[in-house]
């Protein structure tokens, strides 16, 4: 029996769209990862207090919390070394979001997220060393 090419990791999926969240959970769970999910800022706060994550998939534009605010919250919860973050969005983004994503050098996937593309991006991000915090 050959060893599993990708170790089991804990991933947080943050999206207010129930269908997108469910599809991401299914796609990542099928690869053997442990997947937690949050649909709101309050759920994110709770989960970040309970677990350390190897990767986060987050909607860039959610009611009550956008990408930059989410990233700030993640920095504070992780105290320095934060997990890789992949942002997702339905449509184009503002220049403010573009600057944020460029500074962060975070990958962005367009919704709906094709399962194979999502799994590929996650595996690439998990293969990289943990990123340093961007101000």
List, for residues 62-73, the tens digit of each pLDDT value. Answer: 888 899 999 999
Q: Which residues of the chain have pLDDT under 70?
A: 1-6, 129-135
Looking at residue 131, what is its pLDDT?
47
Looking at residue 6, what is its pLDDT?
58
Distance CA(77)–CA(99), nearest Å, equals 23
Looking at residue 130, what is its pLDDT?
54
Looking at residue 32, what is its pLDDT?
92
What's the whole-model pTM score?
0.87
Domains of the chain: 10-125 (3.40.50.2300)
């Amino acid at each position: 029996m050959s060893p599993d090419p990708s170790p089991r990791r804990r991933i947080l999926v943050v999206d207010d769209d129930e269908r997108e969240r469910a599809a991401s959970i299914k796609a990542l769970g099928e690869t053997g990862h442990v997947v937690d999910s949050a649909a709101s800022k309050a759920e994110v706060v709770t989960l970040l207090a309970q677990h350390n994550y190897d990767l986060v998939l987050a909607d860039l534009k959610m009611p009550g919390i956008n990408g930059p605010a989410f990233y700030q919250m993640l920095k504070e919860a992780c105290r320095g070394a934060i997990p890789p973050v992949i942002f997702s969005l339905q449509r184009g983004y503002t220049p403010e979001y573009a600057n944020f994503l460029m500074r962060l050098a975070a990958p962005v996937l367009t919704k709906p997220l094709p399962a194979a593309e999502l799994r590929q991006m996650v595996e690439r991000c998990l293969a990289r060393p943990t990123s340093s915090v961007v101000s």
